[in-house]
Amino acid sequence: MFSVPAFPTRVLTPVLAAVLGLLVATSPATAEQSRMAGDTRTANRTADGLTIYPAHLFATPEHYEFLPLTSNHDPHHQHPQQWDGQDWEPAAWDGKQWTPETTLKKFFRSGIFYRQYMGGSKRVNNPKVQAQIPVLEVGPKFFKLSDLDRRRSLKLLADYTEVFQRGFESIELRDWNTQEVLGHYTPKGMFLY
């Protein structure tokens, strides 16, 4: 009689079970059953085939925030006490030679400021009414000033003309040569584009 040794049978039994498991897994009946259970080929994809990423993958940290590229915006608003004592005080000037009026006349004469006027465009909802906004054309020497002196000179003009007390919210700054809008001066400061 033919007999199989006990050791190879113990080794071959798990191998035969694995081979039989593969044959059963690739049979047409199980493939159809997996299709009916749900197709996983389009997991995390839209109907157009674009990948849907989880929200945590591109989430920005809480300390990230947008800081616009405006003149002295970030330090001016984060640490306002550092600007204390930086503005001009016309009351401390020699009243015979330097007053706000004479200073502004010299600014216009020297080319720091070019001219000022009321500008605006016709309103969309009522074309008969023209919007009014104070416009200041800055001259070529304005660009040679430091940011601090630009802000000081604009504050002196706004305080002298009392433009914000009259109900206007900003002064539009334009280039004297190209007539392009450079920015605005508001009660919160100078914002250049």
Domains of the chain: total: 2
What's residue 39's pLDDT?
57
Backbone torsion region of residue 44, taken as left when φ is above 0, otherwise alpha when ψ lies between -120 and 50, otherwise beta: left
Q: Note whether 180 and 124 are same-domain residues.
A: yes
Q: Which residue has the tokens 């990230």?
A: 64
Per the prediction, the chain carries an average pLDDT of: 75
In the chain, DSSP assigns E strands to 113-119, 133-138, 171-175, 181-186, 189-192
171 and 143, same domain (yes or no): yes
Give residue 52's domain range: 6-57
Q: What pLDDT shows up at residue 6?
A: 54
For the segment 164-186, what is each residue's pLDDT rounded down to a tens digit?
Answer: 999 888 999 999 999 899 999 99
Rounded CA-CA distance 64/165 in Å is: 36
**Would you say residue 58 has pLDDT above 60?**
yes
pLDDT of 92:
80
Same-domain check for residues 77 and 104: yes
Of the two residues 56 and 25, the one the predictor is more confident about is 56
